[in-house]
Amino acid sequence: MDILSHTIYGFQICFQPLNLLYCFIGVTIGTLIGVLPGIGPTGTMAILLPLTYGLSPTTAIIMLSGIFYGAMYGGSTTSILVNIPGEPASVVTCLDGYQMARQGRAGPALGIAAFGSLIGGTFGIIGLTFLVFPLAKVAVKFGSPEYFSLICVSVTLLIYLARGSFIKALIMALFGFFLSTVGLDLVTATPRFDFGIQALYDGVGFVPLTMGLFGISEVLINIELPAERTIFESKIKNLLPNLRDWKRSAGPIIRGSLIGFFLGVLPGGGAIVASFISYTVEKKISKNPETFGQGAIEGVAAPETANNAAAQSSFIPLLGLGIPPNVVLAFLLGALMIHGVTPGPLFISQHPEIFWGVVASMYVGNLMLLLLNLPLIGIWVKVLKIPYRVLMPLILLFCLIGAYSIGNNISDGIIMIIFGMVGYILRKLDYEPAPLVLAFILGPMMENAFRQSLIISDGSFSIFFVRPISVGALLISAFLFISTGFSYYRKVKEKIKE
């Protein structure tokens, strides 16, 4: 009953005209970004963050959240019609979605993707509504040692699940931690690593860093790609799946919702991992696994449901513990902190209007997305025809305006350009920016928790090993780190023998 009353309170906040408008703007931009292969939700949120400074924290987070889960919807359109994932989480959808389009079944593929996304997203929101309370109650009992250990697990899991090299992911995480120490010391206010540069006295700016790594570098990468994209030109019809399609998709949608929900909660999991695992599970248990990759509707329903369920459930550790499970939620954590709000155990009690307003906006946003994705398919197809030579200068312009508008300081623009070039070089060398950004966001929290723990224990490291939760988290972190390192060493050794 208490949750029901809080949910009603959330809808009252969400249905305020300004919040409703920004929810619509967020999901529309998210869909657009999902449709257009390229910049992605993180880069978009980085570019638009300066525009939210004049808004209330609730309105700002409603819009930014809408961009995140809206991109999950939009990514399926590009995967099915162009065979290019608009979002990394939609990579698997290409396998069967595009084949369905080639067989003249683009309509049912787009339809089941939209309905599966709605069901998976709604399941994730319901889980968020009911699980974040008990998680927050447990988290209240956490002290500095527990938070330090949990952050260690979060970063280690991201390194463990990194798509590329273990060593490269580790280097990026360490680089992110180093960047988080630039500026004034958290305790003594002594300048650190600023090299006498006045612009670095307050540290490296979160917005210039992310805009450079995800916005500018994305533009530079896309300039190298072919300008032409082959778009499925046949008329799209029968967007509503028939009864046979629903029978084949019902099981994958249910399983995809469960898989996506649980993987979204785990640090380092998220929508990408959920979509891959969901697809793999369906292929393994299918009576006709040979149809996967040939236009099986289950291969569209499962990953699209899973990635949307994961997108919603990933808010649970962020809002309940204050620990982001992936890079997009790390960005949202940064956005909240910029607006003077710190998520964590007391977040719901201290800022109920933000939490319940955002939760209610997710219900509304998912319905908006269904209406945006089905009737407006024709418009999204036309958007796909916009050449990069038109889009890229606009993105650069927004990045420059956004960086300068933060503090009307040209140094922020220079920092953004520098990190844009750094991000471009790193991506060319197959270094993922995600571990860097997550470590950069969590670095100050981790350092603060570490130093507080040592102050409490009079400098004794034993405080991390006498508390059950802390030692458990550290053991998990150590196991993942050692197993990943051993696996990497074995691969290198095999290559040397060859």
Q: What is the pLDDT of residue 162?
A: 63
Mean pLDDT along residues 338-361: 83
Domain coordinates of the chain in residue numbers? 2-142+173-425
- Note the helical H segments in 103-181: 106-139, 144-160, 166-180
Q: What is the pLDDT of residue 235?
A: 59
pLDDT-based confidence at residue 114 (cuts at 50, 70, 90): confident
Q: What is the pLDDT of residue 224?
A: 72
- Tell me the pLDDT tens digit for each residue of 397-440: 777 776 776 666 788 788 888 888 998 998 888 887 878 877 88
Is 24 a residue whose pLDDT tops 90? yes
Mean pLDDT along residues 457-479: 86
Mean pLDDT along residues 105-126: 86
Question: Taking the CB of residue 493, how many other CB atoms lie within 10 A of it?
Answer: 9
CA 384 to chain centre: 23
Structure tokens at 186: 């958290």
Which residue in 295, 377, 302, 297 sits closest to 100, CA to CA?
Answer: 295
Q: What is the pLDDT of residue 322?
A: 75
Residue 203 backbone phi and psi in degrees, to 5: 90, 175
pLDDT, the chain, mean = 80
Q: What is the pLDDT of residue 99?
A: 84
> Any idea which residue has 């529309």 for tokens?
28
pTM to 2 decimal places? 0.72
- Tell me the pLDDT tens digit for each residue of 207-255: 788 778 877 887 787 777 655 555 555 556 666 788 888 888 888 999 9
Is 420 in a helix, a strand, or coil? helix
- Tell me the pLDDT tens digit for each residue of 260-290: 888 777 765 567 778 877 888 888 888 888 8
Mean pLDDT along residues 15-34: 89
CB 150 within 8 A of CB 158: no
CA 268 to chain centre: 10
Q: What is the pLDDT of residue 432?
A: 79
pLDDT-based confidence at residue 53 (cuts at 50, 70, 90): confident
CB 26 within 8 A of CB 70: yes
Q: What is the pLDDT of residue 13?
A: 92
Q: For residues 38 and 416, what is the distance between their CA atoms, to the nearest angstrom?
A: 18
Q: What is the pLDDT of residue 232?
A: 52
Q: Which helix (H) or strand (E) holds 184?
A: strand 183-184
- Tell me the pLDDT tens digit for each residue of 289-326: 888 888 888 888 888 898 888 888 888 888 877 777 77
Which DSSP state fits 236? P
| Number of residues written out for the chain | 498
Is 394 a residue whose pLDDT tops 50? yes
- Highest-confidence range of 18-22, 70-74, 154-158, 172-176, by mean pLDDT? 18-22
Q: What is the pLDDT of residue 21?
A: 93
Which DSSP state fits 216? I
pLDDT-based confidence at residue 1 (cuts at 50, 70, 90): very low
Numbers of helices and strands, H then E, in the chain: 22, 2
Is 443 a residue whose pLDDT tops 80? yes
CB 112 within 8 A of CB 73: no
SS (H, E, C) 437-492: HHHHHHHHHHHHHHHHHHHHCCCCHHHHCCCHHHHHHHHHHHHHHHHHHHHHHHHH
